Structure 1
Amino acid sequence: MTTVAAGKPRLTLKLKSAAKDNRNPGGTVTIVVEKSAILLMILYCCEGGLRKKRDKKDNCCCGNTTINTDTEICCGQAPQPKTNGDKTKCCGKTSYDSDGYVCCGNKIVKKDSKTDNWCCGDKAIDTSTEICCNDQPCDSIAGPNTLCCGTRCYNPAEQICCDNFGLRKKTTADDNCCCGNSTIKSPDQICCLGTPAKSYGPTTECCGVDSYDTTTHLCCDGMKVNKQDKSHDCCCKSTTFSSLQHICCGDKVKVLQSGGPAYTTCCNDESMSVVTHLCCEGKMVAKNTNADDCCCGKTTMDAASKVCCNGNPQPRYKPITKCCLTLSYNPDTHICCNDVVTKKQNNSDYVCCGNTTIDTNTQICCMDTPQPKTGNQTNCCMKVSYDAANFICCDEGVRKKTSPDDTCCCGSKYTFNPDTEVCCQGEMPQERIGGPVLQMLWIQKLRFFCKNMLQRNACK
């Protein structure tokens, strides 16, 4: 509650007591103070508004709070302690002692000397006696004229920095550029392949290690050559010429063809018009059509519509064209068989068989005759295909196997396995018995037996 006494506003505060006693039965204490004094103790005016103090001694605003400027400094809108009275400064949002430290891009660096006033990398330097060269401190050997060359410093009156890492001692005091292991004065000199050379002004160029005036000379194969005419801008061996009127063909100056440089080229030692001719195997050949852009043997052709087959222009097919000797063909519809273009019997055919074609997935070629495949073990018996798993090719034709293991023919009817059988008299298979000697005896007996059987059958 507020009361007025002697014309001054007063503030009455009632505070609860921690304990009741006879003198204060209600548990409250009433304090009457000046209202303005209370406000000054707890509030501070910042940016046109009242702000609650962090501490009653605060006497300044800082960001969204308050500080005591006797013991604090405001750094980046944040209260920071004063480390050395008025020598305290801010580095970003942190305070530091400026007597012993330097602020380098929000980074506090310890001084090596009290006179240090700047940063160089992670070190402090005195800019009156040092300069910073790529984050490396360097003595100012030429005072305020000292310059950097990489991480080194130098006196520009005595040296030149070359490519930002090498120092060259000046050849003359006026030199201002590096040249190889030496120095030159530009624009009086230019550098030609690391060698100082004379400058003829803005028209100066290098020719090897020498310089020349482009208004009077040309550089031809590394040698200075006097221009035969001021309009000359090209070399032809040791001769000069104008590229607007001539062309150099095989070390000889030739006249340009109709249309000028854009329509003229060389064919060996001769000047040739690219509009009317092509250079084929070192000889000029007249174009058959204006669209021709390729040579084909001794003639020309248009590569967009034709293909060259052994020196003969042939029609081009889409999407793919192939050559069969001197003829072109479409591999989708034809095959080259024995140097002859042969029409496919089926679209899936891709192998030749005699004078026709086959699909090897379903057919086999037997003595230039297409035959069907009869299984995974299809073989040829002269002009006929057969299944080698169940049949054998004999002199007179295909014969069905007597046994699945049989691999040879015996006579005109039988087949046998030579690992377990022998063919008696070339007519009848018989089982092998015993070792090699005993087998020979059995073979002789079987031959005799077979011979007698044949004779008896003949008599009957």
Structure 2
Amino acid sequence: MDVYTTKCVTMFCFFAAFFAQGICHLDKESHRNKGFNSHMAKGHHLQCGNESYISSESACCNGKITKGLSQLVADCCGTKAYNSLNEICCDGSLFTRSSAHVQCCGEVMYLPTRSCCFDKKLTERKENHDCCGAESFDKTTHICCSNSLSVKPIKESCTNLTVPPRPLSSSPTCTSFQIPEEKSETYNPKEKICCSGRLYKASTLTMCCGDRIYTPFDENVLCCNGTLHLNVPKQSECVGGVVYTNNTCDLSARTRLGEHCCGGQTYDPRTHICCNGHSHDMMNGNFCCGSNVYDPHNKSMKCCSGHLYKDLGEYAECCGNRLLNNTSQICCSSSTTAIIYHTKSNHHCCGHYYYNASLWNCCAENLKPTPNHDSFHPEYRLKQLTDLIPTICNETVLFGKVESVALGKRDRQVMLKVINDFKDSWHYEYLDHCKTPALENGMTYLWKNTTNGYKPISTPVEHISDIHMFYTVCHQHKCQKG
């Protein structure tokens, strides 16, 4: 069994498998990570009238800013932003939904099962009747003539018979955001070479450097970590992603023996740490958070998706790149998006949406209207890895990559590939389908051992450095305790 136990153990193993095939395609992981970074880790600064705002914290409607509701989940009702899951806008008037099925009839809200709406006027709809304009009719004995919106006995005929048009819902049914279609093309490896989705004519000595090609015959060219450098001096070398010319960094600073390059400077990795090109003294911390350095044991600091927060209060939790430090707020997150909401009674998270449990039912991060007595609500939500430390250090956990998922009657069967051990590298777990968060194939999560097997507890872990940080901090925490 692959577990992290109470012993002070720092050695752990990672492995990866690579394979090549004759299909030139774009990397699906690059699309996923791009979306994850843009929504989970960043808030976009936008302009609203004469003011600027952050889309992850506020929304803009007709030149007016509504704070506390992200643009990612907001619709506009005049100049007011609102959550269309729990509210509805009718001709500029905002109402709290009494049902997930309510629609607008002019300036009022109504249920299509109880009323007929025509020309912004409501009439009563009898039970088991349909609507024909403003008139309610028994579809077993009568028909609706769409050309005149008149009701006639079923034995009579009328032209252009059709089902009467349904009133338009005020809720959006689609979004303008679409992921570009991934194209693939087959090719003959003897004639062409595929470099990051681009095809080139190839010779036996043609090599890829990112999405470009080069050969050993090309002078003054050097490939360094997927970047093709042109017009470099002869005898240049690539070491650790840095171009060295005549044994010096191709930077503004000159190296001494044993020093490494960090941005435009050099540093000694025995005393300093390099974070995105910025050198820091290890006395201030030994882990990077974006371009800053911090100590995960310092409770006054927290790293949220590359953003470092200091001078924290008693309660602090990451929500994407933002900090949730108020118990009156809640973070709802999916694998791509994290959004902060003000807490409300009988409301729950369904992925990154916040819904009224009397209107909706959530199953595996999919919303469905009109809950019944068997409605499911998520038992818990995934948290960022940094929020789980150090409490989780005392638990039995593993890092598992989701390889495949199958659906049973009420459960979800997940095949895991354990990435930090070679001995028992596969796990097969059964999760309650509706009550546990949705998981993505190919993504790695932290899993906690429970009486019913392992369950996922973290948002996707994207970097091996995060796993290293987890084991190192937990090791230090356990050794300090005893």
- After TM superposition, the score normalised by the length of structure 2 is 0.19
| Greater strand fraction, Structure 1 or Structure 2 | 1
- After TM superposition, the score normalised by the length of structure 1 is 0.20
Pick 1 or 2: higher relative contact order, CA cutoff 8 A, min separation 6. Answer: 2
